[in-house]
Amino acid sequence: MLNQINSIEEYNIAYKASIENPETFWDEIANTFVWRKKFSSVLEWNFTEPKIEWFKDGKLNITDTCIEQHANSTPEKIAIIWEPNDPNENFRTLTYLQLFTQVKKCANVLIKNGICKGDKVCIYMPMVPEAAVAMLACARIGAIHSVVFAGFSAQSLRDRINDSSCKLIITADAVYRGSKLIELKKIVDEALLQCPSIKTCLVLNHRNISTYMKSERDKFWNDEMQNVSDENEAEIMDAESPLFILYTSGSTGKPKGLLHTTAGYMVYTAYTFKNVFNYKPDEIYCCTADIGWITGHSYIIYGPLANGATTLMFEGIPTYPDHGRFWDIIDKHNVNIFYTAPTAIRSLEAFGTDILENKNLSSLRVLGTVGEPINEEAWNWYFENIGKKNCPIVDTWWQTETGGILISPIAHVTKIKPAFATLPLPGIQPVLVDENGNEIIENNVEGNLCIKFPWPGIARSIYGNHERFKSTYFSDYPNMYFTGDGSKRDEDGYYRITGRVDDIIKVSGHRIGTGEVEDAINMHDCVVESAVVGFPHEIKGQGIYAFIICNKETADAEKIKNEIKIHVSNLIGSFAKPEKIQIVTGLPKTRSGKIMRRILRKIADGEKEKFGDISTLLDPNIVEKIISEKK
């Protein structure tokens, strides 16, 4: 296959070429995709404004590459396998031709409902093929999709809809996750009480739950799809036209809508999918992420489809009906490439290996992980028990902002090392910087991870707030993109990501800003002030630890703690619920009123000494007090 790296020598050649002459390198790769008009320049950029433009003047529609070309050449090939939550229900498949027809129809439904090029469409859907159809239909007509993870609360959904003034929302009546029924439409109804920009709500009747339908506004997906033609001309887009907005947490303030554009994102997700997973035609690929996160966008939908791959979408959870579900799916569908999160591996590891006795798993050829650092123990367990020591693990490091994988082994090419993301992919120029902002050249070091040259998949802005984009990522270190992660680099030049160096935490791979959780907690009537930090958690990677000051005598501390947990679930989503809450009488603050989180992190971590210099605290005694109050 074109542009596929098959040996370490080829990697070295490709990497060198991509650094010495990035434009020639990406030009060649970009030419393998479907264009309506070729671009006139490969890259224009500066990291000061910042301005990043790839494949300028190129014209395309991403559905030409992701669907139409395959619908023409391999119409009967399966594009999507859908595995339902309940294994006793039938699984579904969509061929490339069927997917193409569905997408064209859905595009017509959107047009019929007044959606034009540039309009924003919110997608709040379970993991069903219709979610993929909806995203691709938006892309086909040039509408910008904003997928919101269907685990977010009504309040969070509302904030996201309003931030980008979405005109239409697509949802489903309800979904089962494990044995729990989640009534999505009810959550949407609550959100829409204060979303003036929404004119239409399309409802997929997924579970046949009777739902309230507001006249004029709410329409059933099935009815709409039945009444439109399957002929649709794709909108011709500019290379830099926005493709989607995806909200993610920052260390401060409200979640921000990262804006990704069309051509660069397509080229980068397709190239990295093919290489990182060493994808071979006719393989079955399964990624267990949710489409509400960037992994779902890039490596369930766009990257695999651009390569004409078969991508498996799983609706359920790893522990339903039992903790062998992932392994059953692999055997049932003969999955060759399996991509999941460290937290899932750790939680399944905790159940032991008995359940693996009657699983075959011999179809597997490549394993992947993403979302948070993987510890060596979990890595080894995955390698030995799931991959039977025959499947390389690609520990893929990247972010919502990066669009695609930046540092990762290339399966069957890069020599792997437990818990290391290993080497940068071609086109990626990582640097480690020290606390003074100087680049560290040597190996066997640790520093803050920056990238000093653009790659096609990098986000172009924060929707509606380019200043924030600049200050968050391009201001700490001049002329570099700052990732927010710390990393080690060993004697082989291999990277080992150590985790966030800011106030973002990863709980079961979910990205949560501590400030967001504090804002939610502070809205509770009994709370005066709070400080939230992450603490190491055996399964989840990190858990949320909240220190709170209450405004009245807390006779019933347990009651307040429970209320706060429910309150955070209602405001953000249950994944953001604090695991531990400690009621305190004061917080460690400097004389200028800044909370010293470093100290709180250590207390949450169980450390009793080694707090460093605490003499700048307004009241140094508070540290001892908090420790003694800890249960």
Rule CB under 6 A: choose which of 433, 497, 548, 572 binds ligand WT7.
497
Residue (77 or 601) nearer to ligand WT7, CB? 601
Count of residues in contact with ligand WT7, rule CB under 6 A: 23
Q: How far is residue 218's CA from residue 68's CA, in Å, rounded to a whole number? A: 30
- Tell me, rounded to whole angstroms, the distance of Cα 3 from its chain centroid: 26
DSSP calls for 119-130: -EEEEE--SSHH
Given the rule CB under 6 A, which of 26-34, 168-176, 353-361, 483-491 is the region that contacts ligand WT7? 483-491
Spell out the residues 6+ positions from residue 441 whose beta carbon is closer than 8 angstroms to its own: none
Which residues, numbered 400-429, are part of the site for ligand WT7 (CB under 6 A)? 400, 421
Which residues, numbered 117-176, are part of the site for ligand WT7 (CB under 6 A)? none
Q: Give least dist CB 488 to ligand WT7, A.
A: 11
Residue (60 or 148) nearer to ligand WT7, CB? 148
Helix ranges restricted to H, 142-256: 154-163, 184-192, 221-226
Strand 242-248 versus strand 256-261 pairing type = antiparallel
221 binds ligand WT7 (CB under 6 A): no
Given the rule CB under 6 A, which of 127-135, 426-434, 479-487, 614-622 is the region that contacts ligand WT7? 479-487
295 binds ligand WT7 (CB under 6 A): yes
Rule CB under 6 A: choose which of 370, 548, 550, 584 binds ligand WT7.
370
Cis-peptide into 321, omega within 30 deg? yes
Given the rule CB under 6 A, which of 123-131, 368-376, 452-460, 588-596 is the region that contacts ligand WT7? 368-376
256 binds ligand WT7 (CB under 6 A): no
340 binds ligand WT7 (CB under 6 A): no
Q: How far is residue 253's CA from residue 151's CA, in Å, rounded to a whole number? A: 20
Q: How far is residue 490's CA from residue 89's CA, in Å, rounded to a whole number? A: 48
Rounded to 5 degrees, what are φ and ψ at 20?
-75, -35
Given the rule CB under 6 A, which of 206-214, 366-374, 517-525, 549-557 is the region that contacts ligand WT7? 366-374
Q: Give least dist CB 369 to ligand WT7, A.
A: 6
Residue (159 or 395) nearer to ligand WT7, CB? 395
Given the rule CB under 6 A, which of 264-272, 390-398, 517-525, 531-539 is the region that contacts ligand WT7? 390-398
Query: What is the Cβ-side half-sphere exposure of residue 81, based on CA atoms within 13 angstroms?
Result: 20
Given the rule CB under 6 A, which of 38-46, 137-145, 316-324, 394-402 is the region that contacts ligand WT7? 394-402
Q: How far is residue 293's CA from residue 400's CA, in Å, rounded to a whole number? A: 8
> Which residues partner with 478 through β-bridges?
none
Pull the structure tokens for residue 234: 């794709």
Pull the structure tokens for residue 298: 């890039």
484 binds ligand WT7 (CB under 6 A): yes
DSSP calls for 19-39: HH-HHHHHHHHHTTS--SB--
Q: Give least dist CB 342 to ligand WT7, A.
A: 8
**H helices then E strands: how many in the chain?**
20, 31
Q: Give least dist CB 603 to ligand WT7, A.
A: 23
396 binds ligand WT7 (CB under 6 A): yes
Q: Give least dist CB 371 to ligand WT7, A.
A: 5
447 binds ligand WT7 (CB under 6 A): no
Residue (234 or 366) nearer to ligand WT7, CB? 366
**Quick one: which H or E segment has residue 346?**
helix 342-349
Q: Give least dist CB 592 to ligand WT7, A.
A: 29
> Which residues partner with 530 through β-bridges?
548
257 binds ligand WT7 (CB under 6 A): no
Q: How far is residue 135's CA from residue 147's CA, in Å, rounded to a whole number? A: 8
Given the rule CB under 6 A, which of 76-84, 165-173, 496-504, 607-615 is the region that contacts ligand WT7? 496-504
Q: Rounded to a whole number, what is the distance in angstroms from the first to the last CA of the chain?
A: 59
Q: Is there a contact between 530 and 597 (Cβ–Cβ < 8 Å)? A: no
246 binds ligand WT7 (CB under 6 A): no
Q: Give least dist CB 407 to ligand WT7, A.
A: 8
Pull the structure tokens for residue 35: 């264009």
Degrees, nearest 5: CA angle 351-504-120: 100
From residue 510 to residue 549, the character string flagging contacts with ligand WT7 as x (rule: CB under 6 A) and all else as - is -x--------------------------------------
Q: Is there a contact between 287 and 339 (Cβ–Cβ < 8 Å)? A: yes
Given the rule CB under 6 A, which of 156-164, 311-319, 458-466, 492-500 is the region that contacts ligand WT7? 492-500
Q: Which of 522, 537, 606, 549 is nearest to 575 (CA)?
A: 537
Q: Give least dist CB 298 to ligand WT7, A.
A: 8
Q: How far is residue 187's CA from residue 182's CA, in Å, rounded to a whole number? A: 9
Rule CB under 6 A: choose which of 159, 283, 372, 502 binds ligand WT7.
372
Residue (398 or 453) nearer to ligand WT7, CB? 398
Q: Give least dist CB 548 to ligand WT7, A.
A: 26
Q: How far is residue 616's CA from residue 228's CA, in Å, rounded to a whole number? A: 68
Residue (115 or 504) nearer to ligand WT7, CB? 504
**Tell me, what amino acid is at 225?**
M
Residue (200 or 278) nearer to ligand WT7, CB? 278
Distances (CA, A) of 294 to 12, 257, 258, 497, 529: 28, 12, 10, 19, 33
Give the binding site for ligand WT7 (CB under 6 A).
Answer: 248, 293-295, 370-373, 395-400, 421, 483-485, 497, 499-500, 506, 511
